[in-house]
């Protein structure tokens, strides 16, 4: 019984969203153009459950390149209409189109000459008539069996808001890097903003030895720098190869005599590399694909002199993973 109820609710709400497709017309295109031409901010307003949906729409638009904020209409009629300014575009939402608080701020919006995008389930309502553009968000029925709790209607409203936000995103040529700028604290922001140079070890913290150094002596460089690896460079600082603690375990299987070998004889040549300006996420991808835990860092593709090293632990600490 419970599963059947859930299926019924999901079907009603899915149908409500799909029904919006047939109602998309020139009004939607005009609404997008109106927002693209906005010289100020987009202001989304609505009351009650619609107001909660308005907040999500505003948040989505703001994070995808459209400066947007939510205005509570009840607070608006008690002074918060002062937030409005010339150049703003208003999106007012009310399923009935007759919500008192929303209707009471319409005269001020009109007096200020602000473009109004009305989203309602009734184009002939007070809000629908007042809008310069009307987006029809009507639904055949609510998922609530009593027909009282906003369910399918709020889902349809949210979907229409998402359609606007994504259309605006594409028209602006908004990219993942732009999105990350507004999400610096999230995992996505870290993956798209942090560069290798932000996390790499440099200077004296980079483990390096000359090729003639005996393996036993190179171990001091590996352990003292605590990165489980050392680079092998020539007298001019050009990277010739690397030796890791994993290599050491394999070498030890040959016996302790191997510790007397010059490291050049046991190092891995042609090591994987990364550039300082590359995203940290690219370093992670290289490490994962080659099952390694560190990369030496270079200034550019032509350089053979390492300027740093980045370790998997650095990426983990930074939240890139």
- Considering only CA atoms, which of 83, 49, 48 is closest in space to residue 67? 83
Q: pLDDT tens for residues 173-231?
A: 877 665 655 655 555 556 667 889 999 999 999 999 999 999 989 999 999 999 999 99
Band (145; pLDDT cuts 50, 70, 90): confident
Residue that wins the pLDDT comparison between 39 and 190: 39
Report d(CA 172, CA 61) in Å as an integer. Answer: 12
Band (122; pLDDT cuts 50, 70, 90): very high
How confident is the model at residue 61, as a pLDDT? Answer: 93
Distances in Å between the Cα of 62 and the Cα atoms of 42, 44, 57, 169, 319 are 9, 11, 9, 10, 24
Task: Report the pLDDT value the prediction gives residue 64, as an integer from 0 to 100.
Answer: 87
Q: Mean pLDDT over all residues of the chain?
A: 91
pLDDT above 80 for 260: yes
Burial class (CB in 10 A: 0-12, 13-18, 19+), 53: buried
Neighbour-count burial of 56, counting CB atoms closer than 10 A to its CB (0-12 exposed, 13-18 middle, 19+ buried)? middle
pLDDT at 254 over 90: no
The separation between CA 143 and the C-alpha centre of its own chain, rounded to angstroms, equals: 32
Average pLDDT over residues 34-63: 95
pLDDT of 63: 84
| % of the chain beyond a pLDDT of 70 | 93
């Amino acid at each position: 019984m419970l599963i059947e109820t859930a299926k019924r609710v999901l079907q009603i709400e899915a149908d409500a969203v799909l029904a919006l497709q047939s109602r998309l017309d020139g009004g939607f295109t005009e609404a997008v153009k109106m927002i693209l031409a906005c010289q100020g901010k987009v202001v989304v307003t609505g009351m009650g459950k619609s107001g909660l949906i308005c907040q999500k729409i505003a948040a989505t638009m703001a994070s995808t390149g459209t400066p947007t904020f939510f205005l509570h209409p009840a607070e608006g009629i008690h002074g918060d209409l002062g937030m409005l300014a010339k150049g703003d575009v208003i999106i007012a939402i009310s399923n009935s189109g007759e919500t008192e608080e929303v209707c009471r701020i319409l005269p001020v919006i009109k007096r200020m000459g602000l473009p109004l995008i009305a989203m309602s389930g009734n184009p002939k309502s007070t809000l629908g008539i007042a809008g310069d553009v009307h987006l029809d968000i009507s639904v055949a029925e609510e998922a609530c069996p009593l027909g009282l709790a906003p369910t399918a209607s709020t889902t349809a409203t949210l979907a229409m808001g998402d359609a606007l936000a994504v259309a605006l995103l594409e028209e602006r040529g908004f990219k993942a890097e732009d999105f990350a700028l507004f999400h610096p604290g999230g995992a996505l922001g870290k993956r798209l903003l942090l560069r290798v140079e932000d996390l790499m070890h440099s200077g004296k913290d980079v483990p390096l030895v000359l090729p003639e150094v005996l393996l036993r002596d190179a171990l001091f460089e590996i352990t003292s720098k605590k990165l489980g690896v050392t680079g092998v460079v020539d007298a001019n600082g050009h990277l010739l190869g690397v030796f890791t603690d994993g290599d050491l375990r394999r070498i030890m299987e040959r016996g302790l005599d191997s510790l007397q070998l010059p490291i050049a004889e046991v190092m891995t040549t042609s090591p994987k590399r990364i550039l300082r300006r590359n995203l940290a996420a690219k370093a992670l991808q290289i490490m994962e694909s080659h099952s390694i835990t560190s990369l030496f860092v270079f200034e550019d593709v032509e350089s053979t002199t390492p300027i740093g090293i980045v370790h998997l632990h650095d990426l983990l600490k930074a939240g890139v993973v």
